[in-house]
Amino acid sequence: MAGRRARLAQARKAAGLTQEELAHRVGVERSTVGRWEAGESEPQPWHRRKLAQHLGVTPNDLDTLITDEPPATAAPDDAELEALELARRASASDVGEATLLQLEQLVDDLAGSYAASRPAELLARVRQHLRYVGQLLDGRKTLGEHRRLLVAGGWLSLLAATLHVDLKQHAAATARLRVADSLAREGGHSEIRAWVLETEAWRVLTLGDYREAAALARSAQQVAPRGTSALIQATAQEGRAAARLGDGRATTEAVARVNRMASPLPAPDRPEHHYRYDPAKATSYTATTLSWVGDPAAVDHAREVIARLASGDPHGGRPRRLATARLDLALALIRRGEVEEAAESTLTAVASGRVVPSSWWRVGEVVGAVERLGARASLPLREAYEDLRGASAGPEGLRAAAPGTAARPAAGPPAGRARPGAPAAS
């Protein structure tokens, strides 16, 4: 029998569930979950769909969590914390320069891991480092050290919120964004505040509240310092919201602004870093935005992104962006009547295992269009979509929309949602 399944337990904790809570949702005893995590037994086939659903992972990811164990040495995140703790103990204060430098490097490493990591796995690491930052904030330190800890905690909270959005854990995402904004305000870091607003814009966009998303994206642009990555990303987010609203003029203007800001930029030293804008991203965002607004040029942009990423990415791989580009291509092809290729592109994206839960609605949009048009691939595509979502029901909360229009969730988000980090009224 295999040893302890540490990654399975980490995925459960990242989903915010105790063993008892997960057992209740899957329909087993708490001791059964304990045996799964201890490697003493395996989930039965009829349990795996619910298990994957409540952990926020794909069936393929679940298989990896169950069968592919790390070596019996210290986990990478444990080793990282051990290094931080050793640096701290060597310092005269409870924090010290060596600890802060290592912590700031780890923050960059985690943000750089976003593009190629499974959300639940990366979230477990981020949460562990957040707990460590909390311990350091309670210790002795100078004012300068205190501010750097606040900034590091702000970035980590922001990244955790982004991962919660990816996993459709909206309450947790909102809480993390509020913490990130609070730390950024206390630490005097306006770029983190702008990213908070931009991330909230994306979160509500995935829920179908496109007007709120556009307003939040504009607020982010007001807060973001000039020339920062947050400003460019918030502008791109405004364009995507405008596209979902069917506002062609606002969409075109936003895309043009993004291209003007991004085109003179050199490639950053870490292009995979989630909070450093890589000019190459502009093509990806253009493909998404144009596919949503119904511009036929989206096909060429999406094909360009796919060709670049599929042929070998020198920066360690961006599998999530590649999967997204395939969905962009599929939607754009449907609008041109090329349904069979659209279905094939969507199946490839789903099979990659890199479509995160927050983007399942995008797959559902293509599935609905393919079914309405009676394509031969509609049945296997529907089956792949249901396997992805881990449920036998139809697209959750998704209304069908004719090609050329935006598909929206059946129920919008609750009214009166607080905006984390929104500028205070004067």
CATH of region 196-279: 1.25.40
pLDDT of residue 202 exceeding 60: yes
Q: Is 303 exposed, middle or buried (0-12, 13-18, 19+ CB in 10 A)?
A: middle
Going from N- to C-terminal start, the domains of the chain cover 6-67, 196-279, 294-409
- pLDDT tens digits, 84-133: 655 554 454 567 888 899 999 999 999 988 988 889 999 999 999 999 89
* Res 88: pLDDT: 53
> If you average pLDDT over every residue of the chain, what do you get?
81
Question: Which three-class secondary structure state does DSSP give residue 409?
Answer: strand
* Res 79: pLDDT: 62
Give just the sign of the alpha carbon dihedral 245, 249, 252, 254. Answer: negative
Work out the percent of the chain whose per-residue pLDDT is above 90.
36
The fold adopted by the segment(s) 6-67 is 434 Repressor (Amino-terminal Domain) (1.10.260)
Q: Compute the distance between CA of residue 330 and CA of residue 336 in angstroms, rounded to an integer.
A: 10
Question: Nearest Cα to 203, choosing from 425, 417, 366, 59?
Answer: 417
Q: Is the pTM of this model over 0.75?
A: no
pLDDT of residue 222 exceeding 70: yes
What mean pLDDT comes out for the span 362-379? 85
- pLDDT tens digits, 17-35: 888 888 888 888 888 888 8
pLDDT band at 199 (very low <50, low <70, confident <90, very high): very high
pLDDT band at 3 (very low <50, low <70, confident <90, very high): low
What mean pLDDT comes out for the span 417-425? 45
What mean pLDDT comes out for the span 244-256? 93
More confident residue, 410 or 372: 372
pLDDT band at 278 (very low <50, low <70, confident <90, very high): confident
pLDDT band at 312 (very low <50, low <70, confident <90, very high): low
* Res 27: pLDDT: 84
* Res 82: pLDDT: 60
What mean pLDDT comes out for the span 369-385? 83
pLDDT of residue 161 exceeding 90: yes
Domain pair 6-67 / 196-279, same fold: no
Q: Beta partners for 132?
A: none
| 53-57, 137-141, 263-267, 416-420: range with lowest mean pLDDT | 416-420
Question: Which three-class secondary structure state does DSSP give residue 354?
Answer: coil
pLDDT band at 220 (very low <50, low <70, confident <90, very high): very high
- pLDDT tens digits, 40-84: 788 887 788 888 888 877 777 777 777 644 444 444 556 666 666
CA angle 11–110–355, rounded 5-degree value: 55
* Res 211: pLDDT: 96
| Number of residues that this document lists for the chain | 426
